[in-house]
Structure formats: structure tokens, C-alpha cells
Amino acid sequence: MKGKRVVLVLLLLLIGFSNLCYSQKTNIKDYVRVEITPNHDDWTYRVGEEASFQIRVVRNNVPLKNVDLTYEIGPEKMTPTKKGKSKLENGVLIVKGGTMKAPGFITCTGKVTVDGIDYTNYVNVGFSPEQLQPTAQLPNDFLSFWENTLSETSKIDMQPLLTLLPEQCTPSYNVYHVRLQHYKKGSYIYGTLCVPTAPGKYPAVLRVPGAGVKKNPAETVLAEKGMITLSIGIHGIPLTLPNDVYGNLQNGVLNNYAFYHLDDKENYYYRRVYTGCARALDFLTTLPQYDGENLGVIGGSQGGALAMVTAALDDRVKAVVAYYPALCDLTGYLHGRAGGWPGMFNEKNQKLNNKPEKVLTSHYYDVVNFARFIKAPGYYSWGYNDPTCPPTSMYPAYNVIEAPKQLFVAHSTGHWRTKEQDAITINWLCEQLLKNSIVSE
């Protein structure tokens, strides 16, 4: 017995040490940093107004003097229009960043080499971003195309299959692995469902996933707050497989799935995905615990795009939260400015994809065209320094939304979000969905 206790103590110590190491690892920063500060606190300027940047190189939070700095400035994701090199004699350099003649973003990048190690950093600043308009065109049959697509999907028997996952259940909610037939006979989408255990009627929230091929865990934060939640995958793969299966698919047959059948709007990869999100709502609204009224959708990156698309396709959605949405204004690169993830028309991919049929297909799946038809109130959030979903691409989608909307810009963030972003948006979503819900019988 004593030996078992010793083993248990050692195991707990090992777990604690591992957690400490992980926590420390996630907070690691370079010892030397390039710091770039715009001269406007909100990083935002009017078109025609000149921006400038203060650049410092610090080590141990102390500015380094007499280091050679190179810098580049130009439109976001485009070829720099200004380059320079300077020795930081006093540890600080002020660089004039110029302006823009039309709404958009410019990037200032600084690079140094210290003790043989290269360091770099960049900052994006906006010029009248609230005036950015889409380059993506709205097809004349956009609405009819999606109405017909959803009609076809509705004819497929859902055949829901729920499997209890006892090891994930809590006193507050039960957890199930869910399979739903979708798109065509024998084709499925999968998700992880949380249902409150207490008797009553509850709001429901669909969590849509970011890009990649991976297990999508249960949405437990909202479940703990008293909501039915469904976190889905998009690839028709069960979410209970060994972890290496997803990695093998990510690097194999599903590599670059966002480009599959881009030349055919009827068979493009995301046709199945977009309608799969609507099918997930169909399922949620059949649950006896659902309150029949309060339905939300939330996601980030690809999930941010899917949240907006779902809200546009289905009027049952009463609230939407989208973080740094992908798939926005995809054709921006064809008009001399940044476009959204997956960058299908950027310089690297233009030779393959800049073809009339592929450009046309992109218009049917571009989030900006769905954003025009969102009716539900929404809370949106992103940063200016996002290298994956450029703000140049996200603002056009936000700007065309006519439904009630709020935007939280965490300027310095990249393709990630802060605790404040999560807290504010989650609290807003709960307020929208829980205020009219009956939580007990």
C-alpha cells in the first residue's frame, strides 16, 4: 500500500511539473525583440493621413544601441514599396510610413541580427478600414443556388446516431458522440454533443471548427453555463479515432482540401461543409431539451467563416460570434490587395487558380456574399496583425453586414485571441441566448 502511495505522489508531482513546463513554454518570448509602435494609439488613420512608426530593439527590456536595422513598408501582403536600413545609435528609430489613397492596411516590418541570430517583427495599421468594400462579386443566382442546395440537403434522412461518452460526462451535462447523415446517402458529419442533465428547456449553440483535420472537443464552456452545445467536424470523419489518424489525413488525402473542385461550384469542397452546418442546426432543433427559440453559432478562423455562413443560410440563428473569419474577400489578391485564407489567389497560387471558372466558384462561397444576408445580431473580433486572415479581407465582410453588429478589435493580436476577447464575446452570447430561455420546468 505504501509503495502505491509513493507512486501516486510521484505521478502527481510529474503531472504538476509537466503543467508548469507547459505554462512556462507558452509564455516564452525572444530575449531580443523588435518593437514597432504606430504614432496613433488605435493604429488607425484616415485615408491620406500619414503614419509613422517608432522602432526599438530591446534585450532584457533595455533598448540596444548601435545595431543595424532594416525595415520594409508596404500594403498588407503585397510587395513593399519602401525599404531602408539604419543604425540605431540612440536605440530608437522613427520611420515615416506614408499613407494610402484608398482604404486598406499597410505593414511595417523590422529586422535585426544580434549575435548571429535573426529577429523580426511587424505591425499592420489601418486606413479608414470601415470603408473597405468587397472585391468579390455577388452572383445573380447566389440566393437561388443556396436555396436549391439546402432543399436538396433537406431531403436526406438525418438518421441521427448518439453514443454516450461516459468518461466525458459531468454532473452538469451528458456528452455524446453524434453521427448525422448528410449531403447524400451514406455520407455523414460527426460532432460532440453536450446536453444539460437538469430537467428543463435550454438554448443551443453550434460550435464550428477552425481549419485542419483534427478532433474537435466538446464545447464545455458554454455547456457549463447551461446550454446545449454541439461541436462538429467538417470532413465526415468520426471524432473518436486515434490522434494519428487525423494527422495522416491532414498530411495526406485532405491536404489543401480548401482547393478541391474549385473549378465547379456544384462540387466544391465547401458545398458539403456549408450545408453540413445547416444540418447540424436541424439536429439541434429536434432535441427535446431545446427551448425552441434561442439558437447560436460560434467559431474562429475557418470557424468564424462558417459561423457567418450558417447565420446567413438559416434564419433560426439568433446570435453569431465570429473570430477572425477566413474565406473573406478571396479575390482581393486579384485587385492588388490582400485576400482571405486560404489565399487561393495570392501570388503563390495565382498560376493554378486565376481562371474564370475558379474565380466564379469563389464568389458563391465567399463569406462577404453571405455577410450581406445575415439577420442575426453578431459580435465579431480580430486583430490587425493576423497573418492568416488579413484584416484587409475581414473588414469588407463586416462592413456589408446590415444586422446589429459589434466589433472588438484587439489590435496587436495575430491569429489568436486574448482572454478579454473570449470573456466579452462569450458573455454577450450568453446574454443573447439565456435572457429569454426557460431553464427549468
- Sequence-distant (≥ 6) Cβ neighbours of residue 269 within 8 angstroms: 257, 258, 259, 260, 261
Query: Rounded distance, CA 183 to CA 262, Å?
Result: 18
Give 128's Cβ-side CA count (13 Å radius).
13
Backbone angles phi, psi at 57, to 5 degrees: -120, 120
User: Is there a contact between 323 and 397 (Cβ–Cβ < 8 Å)?
Assistant: no
The active-site residue out of 291, 386, 411, 437 is 386
Give 387's Cβ-side CA count (13 Å radius).
4
Q: What is the DSSP string of 299-362?
A: EETHHHHHHHHHHHH-TT--EEEEES-SS-SGGGGGGTS---TT-TTSTTTHHHH-SHHHHHHH
User: Is there a contact between 109 and 134 (Cβ–Cβ < 8 Å)?
Assistant: no
245: cell is 489518424
Residue labelled with grid coordinates 489578391: 333
Question: Among candidates 260, 236, 235, 268, which has minimal Cα distance to 145?
Answer: 268
26: cell is 507558452
Respond yes or no: is residue 386 known to be catalytic.
yes
| First-to-last C-alpha distance (Å) of the chain | 49
The active-site residue out of 231, 301, 381, 437 is 301
The active-site residue out of 182, 363, 411, 415 is 415
Rg (CA), the chain: 24
Backbone angles phi, psi at 196, to 5 degrees: -55, 145
Active site positions, annotated: 301, 386, 415
